[in-house]
Amino acid sequence: MEAARVHPVLSILGSKYKPFHENLSSRTHIILLPEAKTLVNTSIDLDFMKKHICCKSHLKNVYVNLAGQCIEIDAKYVCTGYGFEESRVCEILKIETNANYRFLKIIFINIPLEGGAYQGSAPASYVNDEDGQADRQLYGQPYGQPYAQATPQFSSPAGGQPSAMQCKHDVTLFFNKNGNCREFLYTQLLQFTHSYIIVKGFENCIGKKIINMVDDTLKLQSSANEKTFKSDMRVPLIKYTYSYLYNIIWKQLTKNYQQIERRIQEKMNYLRKDISGFLKKLNLGAISLFHVETVAFRIKQIEKCNNPIDKIYILDNISKIICEIISCTNQHLKKQKLPIYDINSDSLITILVAAISFGQIQNIISHSIHLHMYIDNLKASEKIDKLSFVFTIFHSSIIYLCDMKEA
Protein backbone atom coordinates (compact mmCIF):
# COMPACT_ATOMS: atom_id res chain seq x y z
CA MET A 1 0.00 0.00 0.00
CA GLU A 2 1.39 3.39 -1.05
CA ALA A 3 1.99 6.32 1.23
CA ALA A 4 -0.17 9.31 0.32
CA ARG A 5 2.81 11.45 -0.69
CA VAL A 6 3.90 9.10 -3.50
CA HIS A 7 0.54 7.94 -4.79
CA PRO A 8 0.31 8.53 -8.57
CA VAL A 9 -3.23 9.96 -8.37
CA LEU A 10 -2.14 12.66 -5.92
CA SER A 11 0.95 13.34 -7.99
CA ILE A 12 -1.09 13.86 -11.18
CA LEU A 13 -3.74 15.85 -9.31
CA GLY A 14 -1.16 18.27 -7.93
CA SER A 15 0.66 18.77 -11.22
CA LYS A 16 -1.66 18.29 -14.18
CA TYR A 17 -4.87 19.47 -12.49
CA LYS A 18 -3.51 22.02 -10.04
CA PRO A 19 -6.27 24.69 -10.51
CA PHE A 20 -8.94 22.02 -10.01
CA HIS A 21 -7.11 20.74 -6.92
CA GLU A 22 -6.80 24.20 -5.39
CA ASN A 23 -10.56 24.73 -5.57
CA LEU A 24 -11.23 21.71 -3.34
CA SER A 25 -12.06 22.21 0.32
CA SER A 26 -10.18 20.42 3.08
CA ARG A 27 -13.35 20.67 5.18
CA THR A 28 -15.64 18.72 2.89
CA HIS A 29 -13.84 16.74 0.19
CA ILE A 30 -12.68 13.14 0.54
CA ILE A 31 -10.49 11.37 -2.00
CA LEU A 32 -10.48 7.61 -2.63
CA LEU A 33 -7.10 6.26 -3.69
CA PRO A 34 -7.00 2.78 -5.28
CA GLU A 35 -3.82 0.74 -5.00
CA ALA A 36 -1.42 1.84 -7.74
CA LYS A 37 -1.03 -1.70 -9.09
CA THR A 38 -4.74 -1.75 -9.98
CA LEU A 39 -4.41 1.38 -12.13
CA VAL A 40 -2.31 -0.19 -14.87
CA ASN A 41 -3.61 0.97 -18.28
CA THR A 42 -6.09 3.26 -16.52
CA SER A 43 -6.42 6.85 -17.71
CA ILE A 44 -6.04 9.00 -14.59
CA ASP A 45 -7.78 12.01 -16.09
CA LEU A 46 -10.15 14.65 -14.77
CA ASP A 47 -13.11 12.27 -15.08
CA PHE A 48 -11.26 9.74 -12.90
CA MET A 49 -10.54 12.46 -10.34
CA LYS A 50 -14.17 13.59 -10.17
CA LYS A 51 -15.38 10.02 -9.65
CA HIS A 52 -12.93 9.40 -6.80
CA ILE A 53 -13.47 12.68 -4.94
CA CYS A 54 -16.68 12.94 -2.93
CA CYS A 55 -18.55 14.84 -0.23
CA LYS A 56 -20.91 13.65 2.51
CA SER A 57 -24.64 13.79 1.75
CA HIS A 58 -27.40 14.16 4.33
CA LEU A 59 -28.05 10.39 4.19
CA LYS A 60 -26.15 8.08 6.51
CA ASN A 61 -22.99 6.61 4.92
CA VAL A 62 -23.97 8.07 1.52
CA TYR A 63 -21.55 10.31 -0.35
CA VAL A 64 -21.83 12.07 -3.72
CA ASN A 65 -18.79 12.39 -5.96
CA LEU A 66 -18.00 15.33 -8.22
CA ALA A 67 -19.49 13.42 -11.16
CA GLY A 68 -22.87 13.29 -9.39
CA GLN A 69 -22.70 9.56 -8.57
CA CYS A 70 -23.55 8.00 -5.21
CA ILE A 71 -21.03 6.13 -3.06
CA GLU A 72 -21.60 4.34 0.24
CA ILE A 73 -18.77 4.32 2.76
CA ASP A 74 -18.77 2.45 6.06
CA ALA A 75 -16.00 1.30 8.37
CA LYS A 76 -14.72 -1.45 6.06
CA TYR A 77 -16.03 -0.99 2.53
CA VAL A 78 -16.71 1.56 -0.19
CA CYS A 79 -19.62 0.59 -2.46
CA THR A 80 -20.64 2.18 -5.73
CA GLY A 81 -24.24 3.32 -5.95
CA TYR A 82 -26.53 5.32 -8.21
CA GLY A 83 -24.92 6.51 -11.44
CA PHE A 84 -22.28 3.80 -11.77
CA GLU A 85 -22.57 1.24 -14.54
CA GLU A 86 -21.77 -1.64 -12.21
CA SER A 87 -22.07 -2.39 -8.54
CA ARG A 88 -18.63 -2.69 -6.98
CA VAL A 89 -17.44 -3.29 -3.42
CA CYS A 90 -14.00 -1.89 -2.55
CA GLU A 91 -12.18 -2.78 0.64
CA ILE A 92 -10.85 0.09 2.76
CA LEU A 93 -7.15 -0.46 3.42
CA LYS A 94 -6.30 2.69 5.35
CA ILE A 95 -7.65 6.15 6.18
CA GLU A 96 -5.40 9.19 6.55
CA THR A 97 -5.86 12.88 7.25
CA ASN A 98 -3.31 15.14 5.63
CA ALA A 99 -4.03 18.87 5.38
CA ASN A 100 -1.27 19.29 2.81
CA TYR A 101 -3.44 17.65 0.17
CA ARG A 102 -6.56 19.77 0.76
CA PHE A 103 -8.75 16.80 1.71
CA LEU A 104 -10.83 16.07 4.78
CA LYS A 105 -9.81 12.41 4.47
CA ILE A 106 -7.70 10.25 2.21
CA ILE A 107 -9.17 6.75 1.97
CA PHE A 108 -7.04 4.02 0.45
CA ILE A 109 -9.06 1.28 -1.29
CA ASN A 110 -8.00 -1.98 -2.91
CA ILE A 111 -9.54 -1.31 -6.36
CA PRO A 112 -10.87 1.72 -8.26
CA LEU A 113 -14.58 2.50 -8.37
CA GLU A 114 -14.60 1.87 -12.11
CA GLY A 115 -12.21 0.19 -14.53
CA GLY A 116 -8.74 -0.80 -13.44
CA ALA A 117 -7.42 -4.29 -12.83
CA TYR A 118 -10.71 -5.67 -11.62
CA GLN A 119 -12.66 -8.65 -12.88
CA GLY A 120 -16.18 -9.13 -11.67
CA SER A 121 -17.56 -12.62 -11.33
CA ALA A 122 -19.48 -13.64 -14.41
CA PRO A 123 -22.60 -15.62 -13.66
CA ALA A 124 -22.24 -19.32 -14.28
CA SER A 125 -24.18 -20.86 -17.13
CA TYR A 126 -26.21 -23.87 -16.16
CA VAL A 127 -27.06 -25.81 -19.30
CA ASN A 128 -29.77 -28.43 -19.14
CA ASP A 129 -28.05 -30.84 -21.50
CA GLU A 130 -28.90 -34.46 -22.03
CA ASP A 131 -25.90 -36.24 -20.56
CA GLY A 132 -24.97 -33.84 -17.77
CA GLN A 133 -21.63 -32.91 -19.33
CA ALA A 134 -22.17 -29.19 -18.83
CA ASP A 135 -23.16 -29.82 -15.23
CA ARG A 136 -19.87 -31.59 -14.62
CA GLN A 137 -17.82 -28.95 -16.41
CA LEU A 138 -19.42 -26.31 -14.21
CA TYR A 139 -17.84 -27.88 -11.17
CA GLY A 140 -14.38 -28.04 -12.69
CA GLN A 141 -14.27 -31.79 -13.27
CA PRO A 142 -13.68 -33.77 -16.47
CA TYR A 143 -16.62 -35.59 -17.95
CA GLY A 144 -16.75 -39.06 -16.48
CA GLN A 145 -15.25 -38.16 -13.10
CA PRO A 146 -17.50 -39.06 -10.13
CA TYR A 147 -19.39 -36.17 -8.56
CA ALA A 148 -17.97 -36.97 -5.14
CA GLN A 149 -14.53 -35.89 -6.36
CA ALA A 150 -15.66 -32.54 -7.70
CA THR A 151 -14.65 -29.21 -6.25
CA PRO A 152 -17.50 -26.71 -6.61
CA GLN A 153 -16.83 -23.39 -8.32
CA PHE A 154 -19.37 -20.69 -7.62
CA SER A 155 -20.60 -17.58 -9.26
CA SER A 156 -20.76 -14.81 -6.69
CA PRO A 157 -24.35 -13.94 -5.87
CA ALA A 158 -25.13 -10.27 -6.06
CA GLY A 159 -25.95 -8.29 -3.00
CA GLY A 160 -22.60 -7.89 -1.29
CA GLN A 161 -19.21 -9.33 -2.11
CA PRO A 162 -18.10 -10.10 1.47
CA SER A 163 -21.16 -12.22 2.32
CA ALA A 164 -20.98 -14.01 -1.04
CA MET A 165 -17.37 -14.96 -0.42
CA GLN A 166 -18.23 -16.20 3.06
CA CYS A 167 -21.04 -18.31 1.64
CA LYS A 168 -18.67 -19.83 -0.90
CA HIS A 169 -16.15 -20.62 1.82
CA ASP A 170 -18.76 -22.21 4.09
CA VAL A 171 -20.23 -24.45 1.40
CA THR A 172 -16.81 -25.52 0.13
CA LEU A 173 -15.69 -26.39 3.65
CA PHE A 174 -18.91 -28.30 4.28
CA PHE A 175 -18.55 -30.35 1.08
CA ASN A 176 -14.89 -31.07 1.79
CA LYS A 177 -15.82 -32.56 5.16
CA ASN A 178 -18.99 -34.28 3.92
CA GLY A 179 -18.30 -35.97 0.60
CA ASN A 180 -21.48 -38.05 0.83
CA CYS A 181 -23.57 -34.89 1.19
CA ARG A 182 -21.91 -33.39 -1.86
CA GLU A 183 -22.52 -36.48 -3.97
CA PHE A 184 -26.15 -36.73 -2.83
CA LEU A 185 -26.93 -33.07 -3.56
CA TYR A 186 -25.26 -33.17 -6.99
CA THR A 187 -27.30 -36.25 -7.87
CA GLN A 188 -30.51 -34.53 -6.78
CA LEU A 189 -29.66 -31.40 -8.75
CA LEU A 190 -28.89 -33.40 -11.86
CA GLN A 191 -32.19 -35.27 -11.61
CA PHE A 192 -34.03 -31.99 -11.14
CA THR A 193 -32.47 -30.33 -14.19
CA HIS A 194 -33.56 -33.26 -16.36
CA SER A 195 -37.09 -33.68 -15.02
CA TYR A 196 -38.36 -30.39 -13.58
CA ILE A 197 -41.75 -28.94 -14.48
CA ILE A 198 -42.80 -25.47 -13.31
CA VAL A 199 -46.58 -25.08 -13.35
CA LYS A 200 -47.80 -21.49 -13.40
CA GLY A 201 -49.34 -20.64 -10.04
CA PHE A 202 -47.64 -23.56 -8.28
CA GLU A 203 -44.06 -22.32 -8.24
CA ASN A 204 -43.87 -22.80 -4.47
CA CYS A 205 -43.71 -26.55 -5.17
CA ILE A 206 -40.29 -25.95 -6.72
CA GLY A 207 -39.29 -23.98 -3.63
CA LYS A 208 -40.43 -26.88 -1.46
CA LYS A 209 -38.40 -29.30 -3.58
CA ILE A 210 -35.29 -27.16 -3.08
CA ILE A 211 -35.81 -26.98 0.69
CA ASN A 212 -36.31 -30.76 0.83
CA MET A 213 -33.12 -31.37 -1.16
CA VAL A 214 -31.14 -29.22 1.27
CA ASP A 215 -32.72 -30.74 4.38
CA ASP A 216 -32.12 -34.28 3.08
CA THR A 217 -28.52 -33.35 2.32
CA LEU A 218 -27.94 -32.04 5.84
CA LYS A 219 -29.32 -35.28 7.32
CA LEU A 220 -26.42 -37.17 5.75
CA GLN A 221 -23.63 -35.25 7.47
CA SER A 222 -21.68 -37.06 10.14
CA SER A 223 -22.56 -36.47 13.78
CA ALA A 224 -19.16 -34.84 14.40
CA ASN A 225 -19.63 -32.41 11.54
CA GLU A 226 -23.21 -31.75 12.57
CA LYS A 227 -21.90 -30.36 15.84
CA THR A 228 -19.42 -28.22 13.93
CA PHE A 229 -21.82 -26.80 11.34
CA LYS A 230 -25.08 -27.12 13.31
CA SER A 231 -27.88 -25.44 11.35
CA ASP A 232 -25.63 -22.68 10.00
CA MET A 233 -25.24 -24.45 6.66
CA ARG A 234 -28.92 -24.47 5.77
CA VAL A 235 -29.07 -20.95 4.36
CA PRO A 236 -25.75 -21.16 2.43
CA LEU A 237 -26.86 -24.48 0.89
CA ILE A 238 -30.25 -23.04 -0.03
CA LYS A 239 -28.52 -20.08 -1.69
CA TYR A 240 -26.18 -22.44 -3.48
CA THR A 241 -29.03 -24.65 -4.74
CA TYR A 242 -31.09 -21.70 -5.97
CA SER A 243 -28.01 -20.29 -7.70
CA TYR A 244 -27.28 -23.61 -9.40
CA LEU A 245 -30.85 -23.93 -10.69
CA TYR A 246 -31.29 -20.23 -11.43
CA ASN A 247 -31.09 -20.25 -15.22
CA ILE A 248 -33.60 -23.02 -15.80
CA ILE A 249 -36.05 -21.66 -13.20
CA TRP A 250 -35.74 -18.06 -14.34
CA LYS A 251 -36.22 -18.93 -17.99
CA GLN A 252 -39.53 -20.63 -17.19
CA LEU A 253 -40.73 -17.90 -14.82
CA THR A 254 -40.19 -15.11 -17.33
CA LYS A 255 -41.88 -17.17 -20.03
CA ASN A 256 -44.94 -17.89 -17.85
CA TYR A 257 -45.47 -14.25 -16.90
CA GLN A 258 -44.31 -12.37 -19.99
CA GLN A 259 -47.76 -10.98 -20.85
CA ILE A 260 -48.46 -9.43 -17.45
CA GLU A 261 -44.85 -8.22 -17.33
CA ARG A 262 -45.45 -6.35 -20.57
CA ARG A 263 -48.53 -4.63 -19.15
CA ILE A 264 -46.70 -3.63 -15.97
CA GLN A 265 -43.82 -2.20 -18.00
CA GLU A 266 -46.32 -0.02 -19.84
CA LYS A 267 -47.65 1.27 -16.51
CA MET A 268 -44.11 1.92 -15.30
CA ASN A 269 -43.41 3.95 -18.43
CA TYR A 270 -46.59 5.96 -17.88
CA LEU A 271 -45.80 6.68 -14.22
CA ARG A 272 -42.16 7.47 -15.00
CA LYS A 273 -43.23 10.46 -17.11
CA ASP A 274 -44.26 12.34 -13.96
CA ILE A 275 -42.76 10.82 -10.81
CA SER A 276 -43.02 14.11 -8.94
CA GLY A 277 -46.70 14.40 -9.84
CA PHE A 278 -47.32 10.85 -8.63
CA LEU A 279 -45.67 11.56 -5.27
CA LYS A 280 -47.55 14.84 -4.91
CA LYS A 281 -50.85 13.11 -5.67
CA LEU A 282 -50.19 10.68 -2.81
CA ASN A 283 -49.18 13.48 -0.41
CA LEU A 284 -45.43 12.86 -0.59
CA GLY A 285 -44.55 15.78 -2.82
CA ALA A 286 -41.53 16.83 -0.74
CA ILE A 287 -39.68 13.59 -1.54
CA SER A 288 -37.02 14.62 -4.06
CA LEU A 289 -36.38 12.93 -7.38
CA PHE A 290 -32.79 12.37 -6.26
CA HIS A 291 -34.08 10.18 -3.43
CA VAL A 292 -36.27 8.23 -5.83
CA GLU A 293 -33.26 7.70 -8.10
CA THR A 294 -31.22 6.45 -5.15
CA VAL A 295 -33.86 3.87 -4.23
CA ALA A 296 -34.29 2.95 -7.92
CA PHE A 297 -30.62 2.09 -8.22
CA ARG A 298 -30.86 -0.10 -5.14
CA ILE A 299 -33.96 -1.98 -6.24
CA LYS A 300 -32.42 -2.56 -9.66
CA GLN A 301 -29.72 -4.64 -8.01
CA ILE A 302 -32.17 -7.53 -7.63
CA GLU A 303 -31.86 -8.03 -11.39
CA LYS A 304 -28.33 -9.30 -10.72
CA CYS A 305 -29.32 -11.77 -7.98
CA ASN A 306 -29.53 -15.47 -8.73
CA ASN A 307 -31.16 -16.46 -5.43
CA PRO A 308 -34.07 -15.05 -3.39
CA ILE A 309 -32.10 -14.72 -0.16
CA ASP A 310 -29.86 -12.01 -1.60
CA LYS A 311 -32.95 -10.28 -2.95
CA ILE A 312 -34.37 -10.17 0.57
CA TYR A 313 -31.16 -8.56 1.85
CA ILE A 314 -31.48 -5.88 -0.83
CA LEU A 315 -35.15 -5.23 -0.05
CA ASP A 316 -34.39 -5.00 3.66
CA ASN A 317 -31.70 -2.41 2.96
CA ILE A 318 -34.08 -0.49 0.71
CA SER A 319 -36.74 -0.32 3.43
CA LYS A 320 -34.16 1.20 5.79
CA ILE A 321 -33.08 3.73 3.16
CA ILE A 322 -36.68 4.79 2.49
CA CYS A 323 -37.30 5.27 6.22
CA GLU A 324 -34.18 7.40 6.43
CA ILE A 325 -35.25 9.43 3.39
CA ILE A 326 -38.61 10.16 5.00
CA SER A 327 -36.92 11.11 8.28
CA CYS A 328 -34.55 13.52 6.51
CA THR A 329 -37.43 15.01 4.53
CA ASN A 330 -39.38 15.49 7.75
CA GLN A 331 -36.50 17.50 9.21
CA HIS A 332 -36.73 19.94 6.31
CA LEU A 333 -40.52 20.09 6.63
CA LYS A 334 -40.23 20.90 10.34
CA LYS A 335 -37.90 23.80 9.58
CA GLN A 336 -40.54 25.15 7.20
CA LYS A 337 -43.24 24.46 9.82
CA LEU A 338 -45.05 22.13 7.43
CA PRO A 339 -46.81 18.84 8.27
CA ILE A 340 -44.44 15.88 8.37
CA TYR A 341 -44.89 12.47 6.73
CA ASP A 342 -45.74 9.28 8.58
CA ILE A 343 -43.26 6.44 8.26
CA ASN A 344 -45.67 3.61 7.55
CA SER A 345 -46.37 0.94 4.98
CA ASP A 346 -48.32 3.32 2.72
CA SER A 347 -45.45 5.80 2.42
CA LEU A 348 -42.91 3.02 1.88
CA ILE A 349 -45.06 1.44 -0.84
CA THR A 350 -45.57 4.78 -2.59
CA ILE A 351 -41.85 5.57 -2.73
CA LEU A 352 -41.02 2.01 -3.78
CA VAL A 353 -43.58 2.14 -6.61
CA ALA A 354 -42.00 5.40 -7.79
CA ALA A 355 -38.51 3.87 -7.62
CA ILE A 356 -39.52 0.67 -9.43
CA SER A 357 -41.10 2.74 -12.19
CA PHE A 358 -38.20 5.17 -12.43
CA GLY A 359 -35.68 2.31 -12.64
CA GLN A 360 -37.94 0.33 -15.01
CA ILE A 361 -37.17 -2.90 -13.19
CA GLN A 362 -37.41 -5.83 -15.57
CA ASN A 363 -39.38 -9.03 -14.83
CA ILE A 364 -40.76 -7.62 -11.58
CA ILE A 365 -43.49 -10.31 -11.35
CA SER A 366 -40.91 -13.07 -11.76
CA HIS A 367 -38.82 -11.54 -8.97
CA SER A 368 -41.86 -11.61 -6.70
CA ILE A 369 -42.61 -15.25 -7.58
CA HIS A 370 -38.95 -16.12 -7.02
CA LEU A 371 -39.23 -14.68 -3.51
CA HIS A 372 -42.52 -16.51 -2.94
CA MET A 373 -40.85 -19.81 -3.78
CA TYR A 374 -38.47 -19.32 -0.88
CA ILE A 375 -40.60 -17.50 1.69
CA ASP A 376 -43.69 -19.71 1.35
CA ASN A 377 -41.61 -22.74 2.31
CA LEU A 378 -39.97 -21.33 5.42
CA LYS A 379 -40.83 -22.81 8.77
CA ALA A 380 -43.10 -20.77 11.02
CA SER A 381 -40.16 -20.00 13.30
CA GLU A 382 -38.18 -18.64 10.33
CA LYS A 383 -40.89 -16.25 9.17
CA ILE A 384 -39.86 -13.38 11.40
CA ASP A 385 -41.89 -10.18 11.40
CA LYS A 386 -39.11 -8.22 9.71
CA LEU A 387 -38.94 -10.64 6.78
CA SER A 388 -42.71 -10.63 6.35
CA PHE A 389 -42.82 -6.83 6.45
CA VAL A 390 -40.07 -6.39 3.86
CA PHE A 391 -41.63 -8.84 1.44
CA THR A 392 -45.15 -7.47 1.98
CA ILE A 393 -44.00 -3.95 1.08
CA PHE A 394 -42.40 -5.22 -2.13
CA HIS A 395 -45.34 -7.42 -3.09
CA SER A 396 -47.85 -4.66 -2.32
CA SER A 397 -45.92 -2.29 -4.57
CA ILE A 398 -46.27 -4.73 -7.44
CA ILE A 399 -49.99 -5.16 -6.77
CA TYR A 400 -50.35 -1.38 -6.82
CA LEU A 401 -48.75 -1.26 -10.26
CA CYS A 402 -50.97 -4.09 -11.49
CA ASP A 403 -54.12 -2.32 -10.31
CA MET A 404 -53.07 1.18 -11.36
CA LYS A 405 -55.17 2.71 -14.11
CA GLU A 406 -53.57 5.00 -16.63
CA ALA A 407 -55.31 8.34 -17.01
Q: What angle do CA 66, 69, 72 make, to 5 degrees?
A: 105
% of the chain at pLDDT higher than 70: 82
Q: Does the pLDDT of residue 280 top 90, yes or no?
A: yes
Average pLDDT value for residue range 346-350 = 94
pLDDT (tens digit per residue) in 85-98: 777 889 999 998 87
Amino acid found at 380: A
Average pLDDT value for residue range 321-340 = 92
Out of 128-132, 267-271, 302-306, give the one with best mean pLDDT: 267-271
pLDDT at 124: 30
Q: Does the pLDDT of residue 341 top 90, yes or no?
A: yes
pLDDT at 164: 58
Question: What is the C-alpha to C-alpha distance for residues 188 and 128, in angstroms, rounded to an integer?
Answer: 14
Question: What is the C-alpha to C-alpha distance for residues 290 and 279, in angstroms, rounded to an integer?
Answer: 13
pLDDT at 133: 36
**3-class secondary structure per residue, the chain:** CCCHHHCHHHHHHHHCCHHHHHCCCCCCCEEEEECHHHHCCCCCCHHHHHHCEEEECCCCCEEEECCCCEEEECCCEEEECCCCCCCCEEEEEEEECCHHHCCCEEEEECCCCCCCCCCCCCCCCCCCCCCCHHHHHHCCCCCCCCHHHCCCCCCCCCCCHHHHHHHHHHHHHHHHHCHHHHHHHHHHHHHHHHHCCCCCCCCHHHHHHHHHHHHHHHHCCCHHHHHHHCCCCHHHHHHHHHHHHHHHHHHHHHHHCHHHHHHHHHHHHHHHCCHHHHHHHCCCCCCCHHHHHHHHHHHHHHHHCCCHHHHHHHHHHHHHHHHHHHHHHHHHHHHCCCCCCCCCHHHHHHHHHHHHHHHCCCCHHHHHHHHHHHHCCCCHHHCCHHHHHHHHHHHHHHHHHHHCCCC
Q: Does the pLDDT of residue 120 top 50, yes or no?
A: no
Average pLDDT value for residue range 270-298 = 92
Cα torsion angle, 367, 61, 57, 331, sign:
positive
Q: Does the pLDDT of residue 231 top 60, yes or no?
A: no
Domain boundaries, the chain: 6-107, 165-401
Average pLDDT value for residue range 98-115 = 86
Q: Which CATH superfamily is domain 165-401 in?
A: VPS9 domain (1.20.1050.80)
Quote the longest CA-to-CA distance of the chain: 74
166 vs 275, residue with greater confidence: 275
